[in-house]
Structure 1
Amino acid sequence: MSEKLKAQHFSRKAILYIRQSSAYQVSHNQESQKLQYAMRERLMQLGWREIEVIDEDLGRSAAGLVTRSGFERMVAEVCLGKVGAVAAREVSRFARNSREWQQLVEVCRVVDTVLIDQEMVYAPRQGNDRLLLGLKGSLNEYELDLLRQRSVEARREKARRGELLIASPVGYRKGERRLEKDPDRRVQEAVRLVFQKLGELGSVRQTLLWFLEHGLELPVINAREEVHWKRPSYGMLYSMLTNPAYAGAYAYGKTEQLTQYDGGEARQRVRRKPREQWLSFIPGAHDGYVVWEEFERLQATISENRMRREQIGAAQRGPALLAGLLRCRRCGHKLVVHYTGRCHDVLRYHCRRGWLDNGEPRCIGFAGLVVDQAITREVLRIVEPVAIEAAVIAHEEQARRVDEVLSALQRDLEAAQYSARRAQKQYDAADPENRLVTDELERRWNQSLQRVHEIESQIRQHRDRQGLATLPTREEFADLAADLESLWHDPGTDERLKKRVIRTLIREVVVDVDAQASEVVLVIHWRGGVHTELRLPRRRRGQSSTQTPTEVLEAVRVLAHICPDRLIAGVLNRNRLLTGRGNRWTQERITALRSYHHIPCYRADQRDGGPWMNLTEAAEHMGVSARTLRLAVARGEIEAQHPLADGPWVFNRDTLRTAAAAALVERVRSRTRQSAVPNTEQITFDFSST
């Protein structure tokens, strides 16, 4: 027995501390764990009968980066004077950092607790043992750093050669020295479809919505390198679309882990490093799903979609076509969009970033409808000469393109049918009398068949929808391209598509307001380096962008001569004409419109003998039929006003006193009525007089 062990040590209990650094060691290094538990026999041989084993920290490192509840409980027991000895297989099991190691040694020195390992007993109150414990603690810490440094350097050197394969992304499998494409053609086509849709739709979110709309699933890989199919998410698509491995490049060291302290607690944060700071970047290391140039273009698209001050941002919903493109000439900030009005349909652009950030005065602000219309005219003027050629090429490309949704569903159906056949074989191979097994296999078979039926139903629904939508012919497509303006202003045209067209042609628009001339000055910076300056009249304050259409105003001005407000409202509604805000006409709205535009109201008491009359009254005044008078108006002999197709004719009494009107009346009165020439072969009816 060691001379360092006294009676006061045996009067207290002993603690055996057991620890392994990782979960892998706990699962696989069983011999090391058994040796640590065997230290209990050594404590019993030394004379202890009350021994407590603390093994709560199995799978936890002693480097000081994680909290060890077992170690903290052991130190607390020592501080209370209840422990005579603390033991471990090696003293490095206690701690691998100076802070916790020195804390344990100092506490044991104060309460006179010895430390025991497989070799010897340490008494911290003795100077030589305290010096030896200090050296061992430093050596343990240095050994950990040395092992970590060696492993990290070996890992980095292997990564520089492009041979370090930690985890294979979806669509790849680990080869001997490089990544290889997954042999499953369904997985390959799904990955290609993701990149193809990003190129067509222009944003990760729209790509996600397209997959969700058509009910398509994407593959994922679990920890055992098994492929599963699940409903896609934004994070899944973003990690796939930004991974350079899909462009055939090997990349390592793209991120770094930073430690931040918040409230005294260490928090780990991951930061993405720029490409020039990556540890290893080897283009063309393996076969890619897209070429590197296409991958770079897609990364630029994703970067531009981020809503930052100096970037345009993704094309979103909303009528503002120039959102993210306008830049203030005075302060250099981007203009923001603001919608006002009862229905939030009045568009305005204004610069207030300096006011929001630094309290500076607001720069400029103006109505957006006129500006959007001017930019649209410029874009259509540039695009229209090549619109027909582009439409024909798009039509031919559409004819050559295979239906991606139908192809993906057919691949899903093929995989589901294979799973159903496999489940059937397992069911047939089982012993029918073993119901515990056959019931489970039958349930799996039914689930596989149900999945097959669901996919077949999706395919039928998709084909039905495709059958209703017929592709236009080459001539029809060319006609649409020739009438590009009507196609652009069609209500069914997606606003995001318009914005993508504008952003493809225009880099940015520098805008200013000329207060003296009451104009909005636009300088368009086209993608090709050409600059165009436009000056647009600025809408006055209080001037509504939803004004009454000119044709309605002119119709009311004419109809007010012969109709009261109630009848005018009925005529406008019958012709399906609405107010500037899209409402039906009423007597009160007609009255307000006349009052605002100073249109005289209808006076029934002044109708007789007045200068204005309708078709019936004009025909009676001339002594001819209404049909005759209308035909004369159609021939241009009589002047009349017909403001609405489904509305009354308006005549001025002076136009009925012209020479042409008199000639018309004379011609009608001199028309002779002769009887028909009798025909001997005509059969007559003899009616009885009785």
Structure 2
Amino acid sequence: MAMPLKNPAYAGAFVYGRTRMRDNIRTDRTPAKIARPIDDWRIVVKDRYPAYIDWPTYEKIRNIVSDNRAEYMRTKTRGAPRDGELLLHAIAWCARCGHKMYVRYKGGGEYVCNHLRSHAGLPTCQHIRAARVDAAVADAFLTALAPAEVDALSRARKAQSQVELALRTNAEREVERTRYAAALAQRQFNRVDPDNRLVAAELERRWETALIEVRAAEAALAEQTAARPSPQPPMGKALESKVVALAGRLPQIWADPATTDAHRKALLRCLVEKVVLDRGAYDITLVRIVWRGGAVTELNVKMRVNSVAKLSRGQEMHDRVLELVRAGIPDDEIANILTSEGHRSPNSADRVLPITVQRIRFAAGIKVAVQRTKWCHAPGILSANTLNCRFTLSSGQGAFLSGIVVLHGLPRIMP
């Protein structure tokens, strides 16, 4: 099976000029042969020999083999899926400079655009942590393969086929109409008396106009036929039900420990052509997924940062925390309120932690506030800190109470 992948004779074609000679400038060795692209082959005669595979299949196989080459940084191919945790290996592109990003597993795994630094001596374009980006792309992939999405895609394909068929039918009818009009004008011109020059000139002008309309209609039909993608065979009901059933089980297959990283990458590449990444100024990474077929999905992925000031809504959350603290609301309630308003902590993706509220409160110099402890007391029993605060405010002295001993349901103060 290795020969049909390389030799076009197995596709029934005679080919000449697949290679060219290149002189070795740096050495004195004999010139080396270099393979030409398939579009630069000098002579291609198809259907010359009995074919094992047709020519479109041969071109498809060549494209797959070329795309699986390991030199994906130089040739801009994706390479074969390999083992490794990072999901977007060889399909991640930089949105700033347009070059391919490579993966770096040191320090937890990240995507790095180092092309400008390697070739022009400029600083590194950008580097993005991979964990949350991979999770967002995987969720988008599994969502696109949900049973409802597969059913909707099937209906959309049927509707698109009907529209394309209607457009092609209209174009064919237009060509038929213009040809009939041209033939009618030709018959009228042939029947006219040659001595009647004015009538003959008018009929000749109408005939030329009809021929121009025929050529325009034929060109429009040919353009529509060339722009139309290759027809895909309709999916039968049995195959469609199997695809829907597989799509329903795909999340379990994806999360199965027996599924290797290479298998996940191969599944992802069935639908995703490439992923364009752009690290924003704050905590948002812009992810643009380019699906096979040209559709584009844009995502905003929230990244981890090391401070509240680096959040996109950090100042707004800071002011809101101080406002709620001055209103006497405990830290845990403030965290819940901020989470419901769409805020998040620097190290969390979807909620605000009470420790974040506490740090903002301490940084603002607000040390005393009504706080809740993890211990549940009876309504008539006070904690040591609460009793100490009350005693200090009432006596005006800096007394300190070390604890409370509860005996027979009554609090007793220990000096």
Task: Give the TM-score normalised by the residue count of structure 1.
Answer: 0.30
Indicate the structure (1 or 2) with the bigger Cα radius of gyration.
Answer: 1
- Report the TM-score when normalising by structure 2: 0.48
Higher relative contact order, chain-length normalized (CA < 8 Å, sep 6+):
2
